Every structure is written in structure tokens, then in C-alpha cells.
């Protein structure tokens, strides 16, 4: 199967430079490749079958660091898949999954949009390892 989730996973494994097992990745690291902004990576959670990471570029504005973009991504190593969970920049915050009135909701349009963005971004991030 070569769907977008598989392609994102493959691209992130290649781009992040920590090997193909996210369960063994360090808690945080930064990739730098001129002329691009540094990429900050943080492991947020390690579950029994997933690893959740945050990916962010930052720029400085009025002395503050502003994430643009900043995404939360969940990787499923056993299935070699990854999916976008959240996206934020200086203007918006959006999430794929939310709890509304005690029910877990999925926003399919947001999910598709964020995964498409993450796929394009993950292709570009591979240049950090070139």
C-alpha cells in the first residue's frame, strides 16, 4: 500500500535522520541545513504502538520565537504510517481530532488538508539529509 500516510512516514524517517525506529529516537533534536530554517523535533509521547512528535520551524518577531509551521504528527512504526494531528502558525490552530460533548470527533476535511500539507513538507524536509 502506497497511500499518503505511508509516503509521509517514509519521508519523515528519511528526513529526521534518527534511524527507522521512532521508539529509539531522542527526546528532542534540531536539524540545520542552510539556507533553510532549523527544524525542531520533540518526541511528545511514546505509546505501545505509536510515537507522537512535534515538528516546527521558528522565526523571531519582536523578540519572540513564533512557530511557523508547528505540527503534531503521530507515527505508527509497525504499519509504517504517519498522520498529521494538529497544525498551527501565528494565525491559526487546527486539529484533526477533538472531543465535543464527550464524543471523539474526526474532521475529515481538516485531516485531508493537514496530511496533504505534511506530505509536501516532509518531501521538502528530506533536503536536510542531502
- Residue 47 clears pLDDT 80, i.e. is over it: yes
- Residue 79 clears pLDDT 90, i.e. is over it: yes
Identify the pLDDT of residue 130.
60
Identify the pLDDT of residue 36.
79
Identify the pLDDT of residue 104.
94
Secondary structure class of 36 (helix, strand, coil)? coil
| Conformational region of residue 15, where left means phi above 0, alpha means psi within -120 to 50, and beta covers everything else | alpha
Residue owning grid cell 502558525? 89
d(CA 41, CA 27): 8
0.85 exceeded by the pTM? yes
* 35-50 average pLDDT score: 93
Domain ranges of the chain: 4-125
d(CA 10, CA 72): 17
Amino acid at each position: 500500500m502506497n497511500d499518503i500516510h505511508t509516503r509521509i512516514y517514509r519521508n519523515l524517517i528519511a528526513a529526521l535522520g534518527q534511524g527507522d525506529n521512532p521508539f529509539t529516537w531522542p527526546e528532542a533534536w534540531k536539524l540545520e541545513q542552510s539556507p533553510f530554517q532549523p527544524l525542531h523535533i520533540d518526541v511528545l509521547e511514546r505509546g505501545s504502538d505509536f510515537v507522537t512528535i512535534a515538528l516546527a520551524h521558528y522565526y523571531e518577531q519582536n523578540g519572540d520565537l513564533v512557530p511557523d509551521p508547528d505540527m503534531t504528527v503521530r507515527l505508527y512504526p509497525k504499519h509504517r504510517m504517519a498522520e498529521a494531528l494538529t497544525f498551527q502558525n501565528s494565525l491559526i490552530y487546527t486539529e484533526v481530532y477533538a472531543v465535543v460533548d464527550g464524543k471523539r470527533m474526526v474532521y475529515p476535511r481538516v485531516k485531508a488538508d493537514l496530511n496533504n500539507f505534511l506530505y509536501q513538507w516532509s518531501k521538502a524536509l528530506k533536503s536536510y539529509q542531502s
